[in-house]
Structure formats: structure tokens, C-alpha cells
Amino acid sequence: MGKTKSAAGLRSRQWFDNPDNPGMTALYLERYLNQEYTREELQSDRPVIGIAQTGSDLAPCNKIHVFLMDRIKAGIRDAGGIPMEFPVHPIQETGKRPTAGLDRNLAYLGLVEVLHGYPIDGVVLTTGCDKTTPAMLMGAATVDLPAIALSGGPMLDGWWNGKLAGSGTIIWESRRLLAEGEIDYDEFMARVCASAPSLGHCNTMGTASTMNAMAEALGMTLPGCSAIPAPFRERMAMAYETGRRIVDMVHEDLKPSDILTREAFENAIVTNTAIGGSTNAPPHLQAIARHAGVPLAMEDWETIGLDVPLLVNMQPAGAYLGESFYRAGGVPAVMGELRAAGRLREGAMTATGRSIGANLEGWSSRDREVIRDVSAPLREKAGFKVLRGNLFDSALMKTSVISEDFRRRFLSDAGKEGIHEGVAVVFEGPEDYHERINDEGLGIDERSILFIRGVGCVGYPGSAEVVNMLPPDAVVRGGIAHLPTVGDGRQSGTSESPSILNASPEAAVGGGLAYLRSGDRVRLDLNAGTMMALVPEEEWKERQAEWRAPALENQTPWQELYRRHVGQLAEGGCLELATAYRKVARQLPRDSH
Ligand code: FES
Ligand code: MG
């Protein structure tokens, strides 16, 4: 262990042991003594470690952390720290309306305020469900106190009728079967519930497993943390070790700003492609990078990540679920393969106090059916394609989920690979989509491209996961599972749809999608990286001049605040004013009385 912080150097001592201001010190101290703490320890050289609790009855994906708390606290105590658990605003992807996307920035704000305003020297960030991980890392980046993330881990594998049933992914498949008349409502419910057999977050490589892998790839967890299934005993051991480690991180003064460097983000981007990660990763990593003050651009996802191969055979891009991924070695095995192929920035610092290269020493895949090596991947060049044009400045396409069938039908036009021309059918949000999708008058067929707008950060608000639209029932029955879909919202990381999404700027703030009309011809050119509405420029300008911003109705005060300050998905969907705040732990808040 390196340098050790003296008691006087601990931030918490400014609250608990300040002889210059006995009145305030007594006030700060006495109320903490009526629970599990003593004056001696609060005035000693033992760091106070906050534990940001994201689990609750309302947040079942993270509920495992309620049961891990004893182990985290034991680790902190055994290493000489003083644990203090505190609640985080719940973010439950499947429970929160209008979308959990609205809550990431609220949980972020709350975390920043707690870490800044309370006697905390370091923090364990409990992560799991989609937005909980970025919210915690964004807060840690802004505050810059020593911080370590602890994943809750995925659920056990789900099974239905002898086949793996993956969270989320089974919904998209079941929706098609329902549309085809193959299953009824009750079987639909039973199939989907079978995919959630235990505590933990989604067992697919959806946004939750992706973002926990990103936390690990960034160096913000102990090695091997993210993939351990929630109910496994190794998860309890990881909770204990994480609690131990954060105490040393305080003594070493190892902060997020030492870990969240440009090199770390490049490692995360490369790893995201190799795991077949979610399209939600780019906005979330963008947000973390902005709060950390690290330059990162949407184009980096293509220049750094596109030509990386897909190594992980896990749904939705592959076949397996979380248990197999863990047994094959999880994130260290994937990164070990990438390291062997020279694809990592090995010098990036991590929460262990060592470089990522040192952490990965000796790691490689333990099961090549589940984690391939770079010479025999599931797919070459499997990253995100970043598109631009008159419809948006940037939008993403996840190439690892483009099926052969989709490629054959839609990505070779008149013999030209990677090009598709079709006719736009435009929906104003998910309600409009559900109401009209089966309307035969729309004439939706193989040449149609489905657009959805008004579902971005400002429009929805919070940017909804609705871009992966199912074609009309009749088209599905005709054997077409996917049509090209485009929108200014997001889609679930568990979806296997090759949508073009996260379009920025969104229609609600006057982005190009706002001027598109049903019946317009649209051209996608993957080689040039463009998507264009083939509308004469004059007419496009006229439509632009006629456009009026939509009236947006806020249902809560937070929605109004959020809409006023949120940026676009391409810039991370941050509260723009918050990105100006850096290392706020360095400034001590004023006394409270
Ligand atoms: Fe919470 Fe997937 S819904 S992790
Ligand atoms: Mg989701």
C-alpha cells in the first residue's frame, strides 16, 4: 500500500473532530452516536465509507445489494473503515414510467449532493439495473472522492420448455409469436416470467450487463466483479473484498480522476464491441466522460470500436446467458483476449491500484464456445456504425445484431452492398405506433422504413426505448421479423433489432427527423455512413421554416427541470449545467448552523 492518509487529512474529520468549532462538531457528532458508531471511532483516523444503496422493493434488479450489505460493511470494518449506507433514488428499468431514462440524472444529482454534503471519505457504488451504473459513475466523476463500483450481478439463467430464456430478449421473440398467432396471452406471460428466475439484473447482455462490464473495463471495479451471478457465493465474497478495497483506496487517495482517463474509455469502447454490448452504452459512457472532463466523441465509437470482433456468445447477439459467461471467465477473460491481440491500453489505472494490463495477467477464455478468441470470433468488425445526414447529425446502428436475413433483404440494393432505399412511414411516438401499425391503409411492406420521433430526451421526456418497432402482424406472418426502424429514442439493450437509433438532435428540438413525412424516400448508405431523406433541398428548407416546436406537457416538476436542462443523446443526455462542475469534493461545504 502506498501513502496513508492521516486523520487530519480525512474529509470526514472536518465534521467530526474540529476543536476550533466545538458547537458544530458536537452537533455533527452526537446524532451519529445514537446508532452503531462511537465517538472514539468517529474521531479516529478511520475513514468513513459511504455505501450508495440502489436496491429497494421498488428496484428489484438491485435488491441483491440489500442482502450484500452485511458483507460490504464487514469488509469495510475489517480494513479499518466506518461504513455508512445511504439510499439512492430508485431506478427500475421495467417499473418506472414514463421511462427510467428520466431518472438517471436525478439519481446522479442526488448522489453528488450526498457525497458533497456529508462526512464521507470514500464510497462504494452499488450498481446493477441499466441506469444505476452510469448514474453512480457520473456522480463519482463529478465529486471525485475515492470510489469503487460493486455490481449486483445478473440473475440465474432463465429456462422455458428446455430452452434458455433470456431477460428482455424473450419478450421481443414472444411478441412475434403472439403476432403470428403461435402463442396466447397466458403463454406470453409465462414465457417472460420464466426468464427472471432469481435476484439480479437481466441475464442477457442487455444494458445492465453491458454497463456493469463497462464499469469493470473502465477500471472502476475489482477484476471479475461484473459477471458473477447475483445468488452465487462468489458475489458475497466480491462484496466483502470491495468493502475492504475502498478503505485502502482512501488511504492511497486513488480517485475517479486517476482511473477515468481517455485510455480507460478507449478500453471500454473496445470491450463493448467484444461483448456485443448495448446501444445505450454510448450515451452513458459519453455522460460519464463529460462529468470526468475526458474528451470523447460519438465518432470514437466507430473509429475505435467498429473493427473490433464480437467475442462473447451471449444473447441478444449470441446464444448463452449470464451463468455461462461467468463460467467462461467474464469480463477479465474477454479483456484478456483483447489484450493478447494488442487491442487494449494496458497502462490505464484501475481500482486495484494497478494497471488494467497487470490485472489481466494470466487471464484468457475458459470456454471458447462462450468467449471466443480474436482469431475465431463470432463476427468480425462488430461495433457500432455512426450515421449522419439531413435527418440527424448522429445516430447509431449496432452491427453485431444484423442478421443474415436482414442483411440480404435490406442491406444490398440493386446489387450494391450496404445500401438500402425505402419509403418512410412516420409515427409520432409509441401510442401513435400502436394505434396505426396494423392499419392496412399505410401500405407497409418490404420497402418501408419505420420512423418514430418525439421520443428523445426532451420529447418523451427521458428518451424512451421504443425504436425497435415490430412490423405489422401481416408482414410478420409473411416471414419478415424486422423492418428497418429509425428514431430519436433508444431501444432496449436486450433487443436483437438492428435499429438506427439515438438520433441527435431529436425532433422535439428541431432535428432533421422533425421534417420527414410519410411517403418520403429515404436512403441508407452504410459505406458512406449516411442516412438521407431524398427530398429536394428547397422543399426541405420550406418544411424547416414551417416547423413549430411541439407543445410539451410536463406531469411532474422534475420533468420540467429535466427538459429545461437536458442535452442530446449524442452528448450523453446530461444536465448540461452539471457538466461544468468538477471535483466538487475538493470544496468543503459551509457549516450548517
Ligand atoms: Fe433491470 Fe434489465 S430491467 S436490469
Ligand atoms: Mg431497457
Closest ligand 1 atom, CA of 208? Answer: 4
| Ligand 1 atom, smallest distance to 201 CA | 4
Q: Closest-lying ligand to the alpha carbon of 100? A: 2
Burial tier of 383 (Cβ tally within 10 Å: 0-12, 13-18, 19+): buried
Ligand 1 and 205: CB distance under 6 A: no
206 CB near ligand 1 (under 6 Å): yes
Distance 200 CA to ligand 1 centre (A): 8
Q: Do the Cβ atoms of 265 and 218 come closer than 8 Å? A: yes
Which ligand 1 atom lies nearest to the CA of residue 130? 4
Gap from CA of 68 to ligand 1 centroid (Å): 18
The pLDDT assigned to 113 comes to 98
61 lines ligand 1 (CB under 6 A): yes
What is the predicted pLDDT for the residue at 14? 94
Determine contact, residues 180/477, Cβ cutoff 8 Å: yes
Q: Which three cell numbers stand for residue 478?
A: 409473411
129 CB near ligand 1 (under 6 Å): yes
What pLDDT is attached to residue 3?
45
Ligand 2 midpoint to CA 93 (Å): 6
Strand residue runs (E) in 469-529: 485-487, 500-504, 521-525
* CA 413 to centroid of ligand 1, rounded, Å: 37
Residue nearest ligand 1's atom 1 by CA: 129
Rounded to the nearest angstrom, the distance between the alpha carbon of 380 and the centre of ligand 1 is 28
Ligand 1 pocket mutation pick from 91, 167, 169 by most atoms within 8 angstroms of CB:
167
C-alpha cell belonging to residue 448: 418501408
Q: Is 450 in the pocket of ligand 1 (CB under 6 A)?
A: no
| Residue 526: how many other CB atoms lie within 10 Å | 18
Pocket perturbation via mutation, ligand 1, pick of 93, 126, 284 by most ligand atoms within 8 A of CB = 93
Cα 132 from Cα 519, distance rounded (Å): 40
Selection from 248, 372, 237, 384 nearest residue 314 by Cα? 372
Note the pLDDT of residue 1: 38
State the CB neighbour count (10 A cutoff) for residue 76.
27
* C-alpha cell of residue 211: 454497463
> Which atom of ligand 1 approaches the CA of 167 most closely?
2
Per-residue pLDDT, 8: 65
391-400 burial by CB neighbour count: b if 16+ within 10 A, else e? Answer: bbbbbbbbbb
470 close to ligand 1 (CB < 6 Angstrom) = no
Residue 118 to residue 31: CA distance in whole angstroms: 13
Q: Give every strand in the sheet of 485-487, ordered side by side.
A: 384-387, 394-398, 500-504, 485-487, 448-452, 419-427, 521-525, 530-533
Query: Buried b / exposed e across 130-154, counting CB within 10 Å, b at 16+?
Result: bbbbbbbbbbbbbbbbbbbbbbbbb
Write the ipTM.
0.93
Please check whether residue 266 is in contact with residue 308, taking contact to mean a CB–CB distance below 8 angstroms. no
Q: How far is the CA of 323 from the centre of ligand 2 (A)?
A: 20
Burial class for 80, CB neighbours closer than 10 Å (0-12, 13-18, 19+): middle
Cell of 45: 483516523
Q: What is the pLDDT of residues 88-137, one digit of tens each?
A: 999 999 999 999 999 999 999 999 999 999 999 999 999 999 999 999 99
Instruction: Look at residue 4 in the predicted model and tell me its pLDDT.
Output: 53
Residue 515 to residue 391: CA distance in whole angstroms: 8
> How many angstroms separate the CA atoms of 128 and 227, rounded?
11
User: Which atom of ligand 1 is closest in space to residue 206's alpha carbon?
Assistant: 2
Query: Residue 5 has which C-alpha cell?
Result: 492518509
Q: Which ligand is nearest to the CA of 63?
A: 1
Asked if 516 and 404 count as a contact pair (C-beta separation under 8 A), the reply is no
Distance 152 CA to ligand 1 centre (A): 11
Ligand nearest to the CA of 94: 1
Grid cell listed for 245: 478495497
Ligand closest to CA 101: 2
Burial class (CB in 10 A: 0-12, 13-18, 19+), 552: middle
Which residues, other chains included, contact 363 with Cβ-Cβ below 8 Å and sequence gap of 6+?
A: 223, 329, 332, 333, 335, 336, 339
Of 54, 58, 63, 94, the one to substitute when testing ligand 1's pocket (max ligand atoms within 8 A of C-beta) is 94
Residue 341 C-alpha to ligand 2 middle, in angstroms?
Answer: 32
94 lines ligand 1 (CB under 6 A): yes
Which burial class, exposed, middle or buried, applies to 540 when counting CB atoms under 10 A from its CB (0-12, 13-18, 19+)?
middle
Identify which ligand lies nearest to the alpha carbon of 280. 2
Q: Of all atoms in ligand 1, which is nearest to the CA of residue 62? A: 1
Buried b (16+ CB within 10 A) or exposed e, 318-337: bebbbbbbbbbbbbbbbbbb
Task: Tell me if 130 CB under 6 Å of ligand 1.
Answer: yes
Q: How many CB atoms lie within 10 A of CB 225?
A: 28
Residue segments in the chain with a per-residue pLDDT below the cut of 50? 1-3
Q: How many CB atoms neighbour CB 522 within 10 A?
A: 23
Q: CA-to-CA distance for 273 and 282, rounded, in angstroms?
A: 11
- Element containing residue 452 per DSSP (H, E): strand 448-452
- Specify the pLDDT at position 6: 62
Residue 565 neighbours by CB distance under 10 Å? 13
Q: Using CA atoms, how far apart are residues 501 and 523, in angstroms rounded to an integer?
A: 16
Task: Give me the DSSP letters along 106-173.
Answer: HHHHHHHHHHHHS--SEEEEEE-STTHHHHHHHHHHHH-S-EEEEE--BPPPPEETTEE--TTHHHHH
Protein residue closest via CA to atom 2 of ligand 1: 202
Model pLDDT, residue 504? 98
Q: Which ligand ends up closest to the CA of 492?
A: 2
**Burial, 184: exposed, middle or buried (Cβ in 10 Å; 0-12, 13-18, 19+)?**
exposed
Q: Would you say the pTM of this structure is higher than 0.95?
A: yes
Cell of 430: 409509441
pLDDT tens profile 229-244 = 999 999 999 999 999 9
Ramachandran class of 293: left when φ > 0, alpha when ψ lies in -120 to 50, beta otherwise: left
Query: Do β-strands 530-533 and 521-525 pair in parallel, antiparallel, or remain unpaired?
Result: antiparallel
Distance CA 537, CA 390 (A): 10
| pLDDT for residue 530 | 97
Cβ–ligand 1 contact at 93 (below 6 Å)? yes
- In this predicted model, what pLDDT tens digit does every residue of 270-294 receive, in sequence order? 999 999 999 999 999 999 999 999 9
Q: Which of 61, 203, 226 to mutate for ligand 1's pocket (most ligand atoms within 8 Å of CB)?
A: 61
Q: Given its phi and psi angles, is residue 572 left (phi above 0), alpha (psi -120 to 50 degrees) or beta?
A: left
The verdict on the CB of residue 73 being under 6 Å from ligand 1 is no
Going from the C-alpha of 458 to that of each of 343, 548, 574, the distances in angstroms are 37, 15, 11
